[in-house]
Amino acid sequence: MSKIGVVTFPGSLDDGDAARAARISGAEVVRLWHADPDLHGVDAVVLPGGFSYGDYLRCGAIARFAPVMETIADAARGGMPVLGICNGFQILCEAHLLPGALTRNQHLHFRNRDQWLRVENSSTAWTNHFTEGQEILIPVKNGEGCYVADRRTLDELEAGGQIVARYIRGNPNGSSRDIAAIRNEAGNVLGIMPHPEHAVEALTGPSLDGLGFFSSVLKHLADAKAAA
Amino acid sequence: MARVVVDVMLKPEILDPQGQAVANALPRLGVNDVASVRIGRRVEIDFAGDADLERAREIADKLLANPVIEDYEIRVVEAA
């Protein structure tokens, strides 16, 4: 069984939900601790949402220097699938594993609602279960989710198919080009602002669309093992 | 002790909604001649010994500012 590690930083909020979503999808979950650089043999890592280190200075700026992040950054550069959700996306940008940055919502309000997204790229480790153009509904909840990058970087993201999901039927935070999720060039690192881990059960979520991210990585890992 | 001050500002092309909110509040103070307000961050670093500008630059580069969206300026300030 593939092992998915879920990191807990001081101030993480959604580590429990992320672990639960991974478990429901059929993964063995390993809880990772910010101060422990050991990844304990996991095959993939989720950086969950929340307010790591109180979001002091900038969101994700201090988490980037956590001992576990140095190991994760090396592993990510070596091809390990890494999913950053919300605060996790901010951490990936601060760690320069993804380009650009996430800034204060343009309207300055915290936004918490169910949000429609269009999946733009299904060639990543985390989105291969979706079809391109598929519309999915998952919760968004952020105060600093406005994705920004210079025009050249945005154009490169577009040209390289690195925009993985866009907000549709309303942009909740002013994000450039309606960007909700991006991937690195290799496709193993994905940052997403909305929360797939909150859409995995009918009782608590608006859909089960979030499961697709976790089943995608399990398929990706199984295919990689079969090919090895 | 020697103090180095780092001023961090959003790059001019990055929207500053906080600054805009402040600018929009100014007419309520009766101030109507302000074209724009931008908000940044001032960081004071006190070195135990002499001011180390190189080290301060490294701190600013790696942690205090995110070069994707922010610029910074560094200066040594005489201790009071």
Transcribe B2-52 into DSSP letters.
EEEEEEEEE-TTS--HHHHHHHHHGGGGT---------EEEEEEEESSS--
Instruction: Give me Rg for the CA atoms of chain B.
Output: 16
Residue A58: which of B15, B21, B66 has the nearest Cβ?
A: B66
The DSSP symbol for A73 reads H
Residues near A3 by Cβ (< 8 Å), separated by ≥ 6?
A27, A28, A29, A30, A40, A41, A42, A43, A44
Beta bridge partners of A86: none
Task: Using a CB–CB cutoff of 8 Å, tell me whether B69 touches chain A.
Answer: yes
Q: How distant is the Cα of A53 from the closest Cα of chain B, in angstroms?
A: 14
CA–CA distance, A220 with A193 (Å, rounded to integer): 22
What does the pLDDT read at residue B79?
62
The residues of A assigned a catalytic role are 86, 195, 197
List b or e across A183-205, with b for residues whose CB sees 16 or more CB atoms inside 10 angstroms.
bbeebbbbbbbbbbbbbbeeeeb
**B34-77: pLDDT as tens digits:** 999 999 999 999 999 999 999 999 999 999 999 999 999 999 99
Summarised one tens digit per residue, pLDDT across range A185-223 is: 999 999 999 999 999 999 999 999 999 999 999 999 999
| Spatial separation of the C-alpha atoms in residues A110 and A143, rounded to whole Å | 4
| pLDDT exceeds cutoff 60 at B80 | no
* Residue of chain B minimizing CA distance to A91: B66
Phi, psi of A214 (to 5 degrees): -80, -40
Residue A161 has pLDDT above 70, yes or no: yes
Q: Is there a contact between B14 and A105 if contact means CB atoms under 8 Å apart? A: no
Q: Quick one: fold of B2-77? A: Mth169; Chain: A , (3.30.1280)
In chain A, the N- to C-terminal Cα span, in Å, equals 16
Residues of A with Cβ-Cβ distance to B63 under 8 angstroms: 57, 61-62, 65
> How many domains are there within chain A?
1
Mean confidence (pLDDT) of chain A: 97
Confirm if B45 and B57 have CB atoms less than 8 A apart: no
Question: Quick check: B63 contacting A, CB < 8 Å?
Answer: yes
- Candidates A57, A90, A96, A182: best to mutate against B (most CBs of B within 10 A) is A57
Which H or E run includes A50? Answer: none
**Host H or E run for residue A182:** strand A179-183
Cβ–Cβ of A105/B64 closer than 8 Å?
no
Question: What CATH number has the domain bearing residue A76?
Answer: 3.40.50.880
The ipTM assigned to this model is 0.84
Q: Is B13 on the interface with A (CB under 8 A)?
A: yes
- Measured distance CA(B74)–CA(B24) in Å, rounded: 30
Name the minimum distance, in Å, from the CA of A32 to any CA of chain B.
24
How much is the pLDDT for B78?
A: 78
User: What's the average model confidence in pLDDT over A151-180?
Assistant: 97
Identify the contact set of chain A against chain B, taking CB-CB distances under 8 A.
57-58, 61-62, 65, 93-94, 99-101, 103-108, 148-150, 174
Closest to B69 (Cβ–Cβ): which among A65, A101, A106?
A101
pLDDT (mean) for A51-67? 94
For residue A79, give the DSSP letter.
Answer: T
Query: Chain B, 26-55: which have a CB under 8 Å from a chain A CB?
Result: none
Q: How many CB atoms lie within 10 A of CB A73?
A: 17
Can you give the pLDDT at residue A126? 98
Domain hosting A10: range is: 3-227
Span A63-90, average pLDDT: 97
Backbone angles phi, psi at A154, to 5 degrees: -60, -40
- CB distance B17–A107 less than 8 Å? yes
| In the predicted structure, residue A3 carries a pLDDT above the cut 60 | yes
- Shortest alpha-carbon distance between residue B17 and chain A (Å): 6
